[in-house]
A and B are shown apart, each in its own frame.
Chain A
Amino acid sequence: MPALTGIGATFSLDDGGGNLQNLTPDVLSVTINTPRNSQDITALNDGALRRLLLLGDASIDLECVVNDATNASFDVFKTAGTYDSARTATFVRNGHTLTMEMILTQVSWPRAQDGSWRISASLQLASGSDPTWS
C-alpha cells in the first residue's frame, strides 16, 4: 500500500449528551499527539543515552468551521462550559481507527476582523488507557 494522505479521514466526537457526532464536514484540521514520557537511566558506564518508556498521553487539537446544523460542530462544542464528563473521540483513516476518551479542555470561538468565525478546540486524555490504533 502506498503512503496515505489525510484525504478521506473522518473525525467524530461526543456531544453534551454523550452521543457520538460525525464532525468530518466541519473539521479544517486535526492534530493528534500520542506521546510517551521517558526516564533517563543513563549510568556512569554508558557511552550513550539509555531510557525507559513511562506513562503515555494523548491530545487532540482541532480547527473547525462553525456549523449550526443539528448535531454539527456548534451543537457539539457549545456544551464545553456546561458538560463535565469525558467524551469519546474517534479518528478513522483507511480502516485504521483510533478511539480515546478525552476531556474537552478548551474551546475558543474567535471572530476575526475579516468576518470569519471558527472554533479552536483542545482535548486531553481522560481514561488512563493507552491510545491504541486498530
Chain B
Amino acid sequence: MAVRTGIGWKLYIQGYDISGDVGALDTIAMTVNTQDITSLNDGSMARLALLKDAQISFTVFFNDATGAQFDALSTLPTTDVLVLLCAGTTRGDPVFAMTAKQTNYDWRRSADGSLVGTVNLIGAAAFPLEVGKLLTSGGQITHASASDETGIDHGAQTTSGAVGFLQHFAADSGTVEYDIEDSSDSTNGVDGTWANLLAFTDVGTPYSPTAERVAVNGTVERWTRASTNGTFTNADFAMGLRRRATNDYDAA
C-alpha cells in the first residue's frame, strides 16, 4: 500500500458504467456543518459538528452510445441515484458510495469545437459520502451463473454493522439474487464457512440498470465476499461494502 494516483478508476451511477466518459472528478467532498457554541467564559471559538453533506461533480464527454453517459444522465432523474466510485479495481480497493440527487446536466460547446459536460451530484436520503471497499475484482464483473467472489480480509470481526452497495448493469435470463456473505474462519477468502450477511433485492426481467444500498446491524465477520445465487445467466454487476466502525454516527 502506498501513495495512490487517480488512474484506473471506475464510476458507476444507478447501474450505468460511465467510467469511459468522465475526464475528471472535480469534487469528491464530505462536509460537516458547525454550530457556534462559544460562551461567555471561552477565550476562543467553541463549535459542535452538525449535519453532514456530500458532493461529487465531474466533467464528462458526449457519448451517446447505448448504456453510456447520455443514457445514464440526460433524463435528469428526480429520484435518488446511487453512485459507486471505485478508486481502483482490485478487490479491497477503496470505494466512495453516495445516495445522491443529480442537480444538472450542463454542456459547453467551445469555439474550438469541443463539447464538454459538467454534472453535479449532491447528498440525498440523509447519508454522508460513505467510504468502503470493493468486493468485485475489476469493478464490473460477470457471473455466468450463481457463484462466489473471493473474499477480502478486513483483519477482524466487528460488531457495528455494515452497509452494502450494489450496481446491477445487466443480465440475460432468470432471476439474480445478489448477496454479501461473511466468514469467521476463512484463511484465503475461498475456504471456510460462509453465511449470508445481507441480501439485495432480486433482479429479474427486463434487467434494467439499477443500484441499491442495504444496511445491516450487528456482527460482521472478518472476511466478506460478493455472491450471486438463484438461477440466471450472465449477471453483470459491481459490489462494495462499508464496514461501520464503533465511533461511526450510524454504528448499530
Contacts and interface: CB of A to CB of B under 8 A. Distances in A.
A64 to B, nearest CB: 10
A112 B46 CA distance: 35
Contact of A109 (B7, B33, B38, B96): B96
B85 to A, nearest CB: 9
A5 interface: no
A78 B48 CA distance: 20
B45 A128 contact: yes
B4 A55 contact: no
Contacts of A17: 245-247
A108 B246 CA distance: 24
Contact of A80 (B30, B42, B44): B30
Contact of A83 (B7, B42, B87, B247): B247
A65 B23 CA distance: 20
A130 B2 CA distance: 37
B6 A112 contact: yes
A81 B247 contact: no
Interface stretch (A41-49, A90-98, A113-121): A113-121
Place the interface of chain B in its size category: 35 or more
Given A68-B1, A82-B249, A108 B29 contact: yes
A85 B7 CA distance: 33
A126 B26 contact: no
B43 A117 contact: no
B47 A125 contact: yes
Given A17-B246, A115-B5, A127 B44 contact: yes
Closest 5 CB pairs of A and B: A128-B46, A81-B128, A111-B6, A128-B42, A117-B6
Given A109-B28, A111-B25, 20 more contacts: A55-B38, A56-B44, A58-B45, A66-B87, A70-B1, A79-B131, A79-B245, A81-B30, A81-B129, A82-B247, A105-B49, A107-B29, A109-B25, A111-B9, A115-B6, A117-B5, A124-B47, A128-B39, A128-B44, A131-B44
Interface of A: 16-18, 26, 55-58, 65-70, 72, 74, 78-86, 103-113, 115-117, 124-131
